[in-house]
């Protein structure tokens, strides 16, 4: 009987040890648990840097093959972000340049006169996802621009572009598109 009593006491001690081990493992201080890695604040993750020219691919196209003389010429710059992160373009005189030529004659360039700069978009900023493309509409009034905003009436050249083939390029954040061409017809 002493043997049976000893066996019961031994089983009770083993059960108590197992219970103590189980409760002890759940009562470990939080400091022993792995610490989460630091996170970037939401404000920092929401900020997206301006696009860099080296990350962009730009394809300029005309919405029509020909426009009537005096019409507003509508172009579309399809901008592809080939960079590793999302980026933004604010379409303004610092980031978007339009040049229009006919033959060797430079008809229009945004650098000539700030008040002649066509607005590519009414939106203030365009965010382009990494690997994605966005279209920026660009308009040109078919007006000739001159260096330093000289009065066109004082020049031998016509005020408006005339019947001819025109070639346009756009430069966005330092990256220039291939040319697109269109006609202005009477």
* Domains, the chain: 53-180 (2.60.40.10)
Structure tokens at 81: 């972000």
CA distances from 103 to 24, 166, 168 (A): 86, 8, 11
Q: Please say whether the beta carbons of 110 and 150 come within 8 A.
A: no
Q: Which pLDDT score, from 0 to 100, does residue 145 have?
A: 78
Q: If you search the block for the tokens 């992160």, which residue do you land on?
A: 85
Q: Coil, strand or helix: which one is 138?
A: strand
Q: What angle do CA 29, 31, 37 make, to 5 degrees?
A: 140
pLDDT tens series, the chain, 186 aa: 655 555 565 565 666 666 655 665 555 545 554 444 433 333 444 688 999 989 999 999 999 999 987 789 999 999 999 999 999 988 777 788 899 998 888 888 887 765 555 555 445 688 999 999 999 988 888 888 765 555 544 445 555 566 789 999 999 988 999 999 999 887
Tell me if 57 sits within 8 A of 117, measured CB to CB: no
List, in sequence order, the alpha helices (H) in 27-102.
42-46
Expressed in percent and rounded to 5, the helix, strand and coil fractions of the chain are 25, 35, 40
């Amino acid at each position: 009987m002493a043997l049976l009593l000893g066996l019961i006491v031994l089983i009770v001690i083993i059960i108590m040890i197992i219970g103590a081990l189980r409760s002890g493992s759940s009562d470990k201080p939080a400091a022993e648990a792995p610490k989460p890695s630091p996170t970037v604040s939401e404000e920092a993750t929401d900020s997206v840097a301006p696009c860099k020219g080296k990350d962009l691919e730009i394809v300029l196209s005309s919405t029509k093959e020909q426009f009537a003389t005096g019409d507003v010429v509508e172009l579309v710059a399809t901008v592809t972000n080939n960079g590793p992160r999302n980026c933004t373009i604010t379409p303004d005189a610092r980031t978007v340049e339009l040049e229009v030529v006919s033959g060797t004659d430079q008809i229009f360039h945004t650098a000539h006169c700030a008040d002649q700069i066509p607005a590519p978009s009414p939106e203030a900023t365009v965010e382009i996802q990494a690997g994605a493309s966005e279209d920026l509409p660009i308009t040109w009034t078919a007006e000739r621009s001159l260096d330093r905003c000289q009065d066109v009436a004082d020049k031998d050249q016509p005020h408006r572009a005339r019947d001819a083939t025109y070639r346009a390029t756009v430069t966005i954040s330092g990256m220039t598109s291939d040319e697109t061409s269109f006609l202005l017809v009477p």
